[in-house]
Amino acid sequence: MAQIGAAHGLCGEVKLKSFTADPMALSDYGALTSEDGSASFEIEALRPAKGYLVARFRGIADRAAAERLANVRLFVPRERLPPLHADEFYHADLIGLSAVKADGTEIGTVVAVHDFGAGDILELAPRGSATTIMLPFTAAFVPSVDLARGRIVVAPPDEAAGSGASDE
């Protein structure tokens, strides 16, 4: 749902990066837990700042306590997530899916979903390769997502296109 960044000020506030569609809705999900479930965080105050949110958690009252939270990733149980509309997916549902071409040729597995600011990007790990492939998560490049079958159909750009190779 979010990741805690650096401490903000002296009174226990932290910078917070939200991964929700509406960043300010983060406080609507109730208590957030650390990735391993060992800690729970209740948002007392949340406000937007330039490029991030500023949050104050219950029980975190000074800068030293806030600094210890840097890089903690925050989660909620799936049952607290809102229902999705058609053609919407949670990133966690996409990770691990097999990526195949329309003819069934396997490309690899979805290992991550990134958003660098211009829309979601799928990171695919081809079988037997240490190099991953980045593919825009758009209808043009991913025409089909089949969660029930555990796969996505991808239409990667022609490998020769844009490679800079020339026949001259």
Domain annotation covers residue 32: yes
Any domain includes 109 = yes
Q: Which residues lie below 8 Å from residue 101, measured CB to CB, with a gap of 6+? A: 107, 153, 154, 155, 156
Residue pLDDT tens, the chain, 168 long: 999 999 999 999 999 999 888 899 999 999 999 999 999 999 999 999 998 999 999 999 999 999 999 999 999 988 888 888 888 888 889 999 999 999 999 999 999 998 877 789 999 999 888 899 999 999 999 999 999 999 999 998 764 233 344 344
CATH number at residue 104: 2.30.30.240
161 lies in a domain? no
- State which of 80, 110, 143 marks the end of a domain: 80
Q: How many domains, in total, are found in the chain?
A: 2
Residues 70 and 103 in one domain: no
Same domain, 40 and 109: no
What is the pLDDT at residue 158? 65
Q: 104 and 148: one domain?
A: yes
In a domain, 86, yes or no: no
Q: Are residue 47 and residue 26 in the same domain, yes or no? A: yes
47 and 27 together in one domain:
yes
Q: What pLDDT is recorded for position 127?
A: 86
CATH number at residue 11: 2.40.30.60
pLDDT at 129: 87
- 145 and 95, same domain (yes or no): yes
Q: Indicate if 9 and 44 belong to the same structural domain.
A: yes
Cα dihedral across residues 151, 156, 159, 164: positive or negative:
negative
Residue 119 lies in a domain: yes
Residue 30 falls in which region: left (phi positive, over 0), alpha (psi -120 to 50) or beta: left
Question: Same structural domain for residues 103 and 142?
Answer: yes
Q: How far apart are the C-alpha atoms of 2 and 57, rounded to whole Å?
A: 13
3-state secondary structure 83-148: CCCCCCCCHHHHCCCEEECCCCCEEEEEEEEEECCCCEEEEEECCCCCCCEEEECCCCCCCEEECC
Predicted TM-score (pTM) of the model is 0.69
User: Among the three residues 30, 54, 80, which one is the final residue of a domain in this structure?
Assistant: 80
In this structure, what token pair is assigned to residue 100? 């195949």
129 shares a domain with 103: yes
Is 114 in the same domain as 71? no
Last residue within a domain, chosen from 80, 110, 139: 80
Range of the domain at 109: 91-153
